[in-house]
Chain A
Amino acid sequence: MILNVDFSSDTPLYQQLRDQIVVGIAEGKLSPGEQLPTIRALAEESGINMMTVSKAYQLLKQEGYITTDRRSGARVAATGRVTVSDTVRKELKVRISELRLSGLSKEEILALCAQVYEEGETQ
């Protein structure tokens, strides 16, 4: 999987890493059990501070997307239902509100969600 790190973006770097890995897992670009670069390696590859990479990995681990091991480093967690956190629920609420304010109906929002979901599946 190719990670794109945008230093000029307003999104924090750890968030960019976390988001892309989550999308990568959802789209099947990262398979369960697949080895991820170590914190040091990812910092070296991207030029990002190790603390920032560590923050992204900690977040992913807390959310259940990856597992970390002192020997084998970080791996994509085995598939299973990951609990939807309050943060995700809140974010979803904000996005849906934005779409409603854009003038989209419930059906149109659901159709858009289905479309984006299928795009991820076909990747």
Chain B
Amino acid sequence: MTKLILWGSVIWLAPLLCYMLVNETKSKKNIILGVTLPAEGRSDPAVEEETKRFRRNEWTVCALLILLGVLAMLPVFHDVSMTLWMIWIDLCIVLPYIPYVLSRNKLLKIKEERGWKRQDQTVKVDTAAWQEPKWLSPWLFVPPFLLALLPVFFDRGMWPVYLIDALCIIFFWFGYRYLYSTRSEMVDGDTGLTQVLTRIRRVRWGRVWLFTAYSMAALNIAFYLFSLNKGLGVALFVTITVFICVIALQMEMKMRQLQEKLTASSGKEDYVDDDEHWIGGIFYYNPNDRRSIVNHRIGLNTTVNLASGLGKVMIVMSIVLLLGLPFFGVWMDHMGSSEITVSAEEGEVSFRSGMTHYEFSKESIQEVTLLEELPQDLRRRFGTAMDTYLEGDFVSDEYGRMKLLLDPTVSPWLLIRTDEKLYLFGTREGQLTRDLYVTLSE
């Protein structure tokens, strides 16, 4: 079940990423596939042929990724499924960019041959287009902040989680305010166009962060409801997550549509061209630019200047994350099958698995029960929940909060009530658990 949820959570990555890249074949701000082209260039047959080829190649990559995603779900890969999934996510991030970079290089070649490359490589600033940015008031982020804190009053035991989520909303305001470059969206010498493009981007940037803040508050409430009712909580989680994804995509695509529409007739005479600062059309590298955060050329997003200190840190972190994903998968697979050891010697009882360790004295045990079935409404608060491994802080209506360390596929399980806590344990061998029950019952 866990694997199916994971599959459903990530399989759409491939078509989404490919779709976003294919969308770049439509000119926005005079840019096609990361290459700035004049108006005449955008309707050139060679350019059209290349964009057509790119679309074909991109959807082929997409089909290949989906096929690999389906294969990774086969039972034969059960023991290494997490590792495969993490490798698959890496492939999803990297593979769609291969046809993109190849086609971009071809378009750059066409651009050079046709003499469309602007000789004047100066940075242009339209003094008349500049407008003092009107930022959203930080007070607008207060209602979602308070909403996110609301569950604390009903579920005091989990206050750290709710508080961390609420604090994220404060960070969202900082993100809104400081992760945006206020540079004008200049595509040519048309001051009015520059102002409109700049304004719509800035307004939509604010909407995105405000929407994110309210989404976080909604997720916090869903998390609280999950502790009350598993079904309702999961349904709400899924609904909110799907809603967030759909709205985020819709915001990005709407922004792109506007950029496409507004700049459809641009680039007839002069046009802004900073292709040379975009490596592969993806990474911004400009040592002359003092800014660390820059806006993406199209859409709503921002990126970093790799020539800056922050940019270098970010790219190293991204590479480490990408390369680390498969290792994370190996660790998860290992955890799913890791041994759960138990010892009951010298008056101490201990359960151990990997870095998890629970220990208490025999004297503190008040009651030991052998369960042949796990509680149906077991809900995780903190910890790990995999098909073959449950560890951490869980809750059920029947027993309340308890610490778990068990394999849910191997019965029976030991419910141990001590002076302080309630534990639910189970080893990977049923007989071992039964033997321990006998020992502790004595």
Contact = CB atoms under 8 A, between A and B. Distances in A.
A6 B123 CA distance: 6
Interface stretch (A44-52, A83-91, A114-122): A44-52
A4 B122 contact: yes
B181 interface: yes
Contact of B290 (A1, A2, A8, A48): A48
Interface string B124-156: 111110101000000000000000000000000
Nearest to B122: A4
B123 A7 contact: yes
A4 B183 CA distance: 15
Interface string B250-290: 00000000000000000000000000000000000010111
A42 interface: yes
A1 B123 CA distance: 13
Interface residues of B, number: 21
A86 to B, nearest CB: 29
A7 B127 contact: no
Interface string A25-69: 000001000001110011111111100000000000000000000
Residue among B125, B126, B183, B290 with the highest chain A CB neighbour number at 10 A: B125
B184 interface: yes
A84 B289 CA distance: 34
Given A5-B122, A6-B122, A47 B286 contact: yes
A104 to B, nearest CB: 29
Residue among B120, B127, B130 with the highest chain A CB neighbour number at 10 A: B127
A58 B235 CA distance: 61
B256 to A, nearest CB: 23
Contacts of B189: 2
Interface string B276-311: 000000000010111100000000000000000000
A37 B129 CA distance: 9
A30 B290 contact: no
B119 interface: no
A7 B288 CA distance: 7
Contacts of B124: 2-5
Contacts, number: 59
Q: Label chain B's interface by main secondary structure.
A: loop
Contacts of A41: 130, 132, 182
Contacts of A44: 181-183, 291
B376 interface: no
A1 B127 contact: yes
Given A2-B125, A3-B125, A4-B124, A47 B130 contact: no
Contacts of A1: 126-128
Nearest to B294: A47
B121 interface: yes
A4 B123 contact: yes
Contact of B126 (A2, A8, A30, A49): A2
Contacts of A7: 122-123, 288
A41 B182 CA distance: 8
Contacts of A43: 290
B288 A42 contact: no
A45 B184 contact: yes
Given A44-B183, A45-B183, A30 B127 contact: yes
B294 to A, nearest CB: 9
Given A43-B290, A44-B183, A4 B128 contact: no
A7 B127 CA distance: 18
A38 B132 CA distance: 9
A46 B126 CA distance: 10
Given A3-B124, A4-B123, A45 B286 contact: no
A43 B128 CA distance: 15
B96 to A, nearest CB: 30
B127 A37 contact: yes
Contacts of B291: 44, 47
A30 B290 CA distance: 27
B120 A45 contact: no
Given A2-B124, A2-B125, A2-B189, A45 B130 contact: yes
Nearest to A41: B130
B289 A47 contact: yes
B185 to A, nearest CB: 11
B180 to A, nearest CB: 10
Nearest to B277: A47
Interface of A: 1-8, 24, 30, 36-38, 41-49
Interface of B: 120-128, 130, 132, 181-184, 189, 286, 288-291
Given A7-B288, A44-B182, 19 more contacts: A1-B126, A1-B128, A2-B124, A3-B126, A4-B120, A4-B124, A5-B122, A5-B124, A6-B121, A6-B122, A7-B123, A8-B121, A37-B130, A42-B127, A45-B184, A46-B123, A47-B123, A47-B291, A49-B290
28 contacts: A1-B128, A2-B125, A2-B126, A2-B127, A3-B127, A4-B123, A4-B124, A5-B123, A5-B125, A6-B121, A7-B123, A8-B121, A36-B127, A37-B125, A41-B132, A42-B127, A44-B181, A44-B182, A44-B183, A45-B125, A45-B130, A46-B123, A46-B125, A47-B123, A47-B290, A47-B291, A48-B290, A49-B290
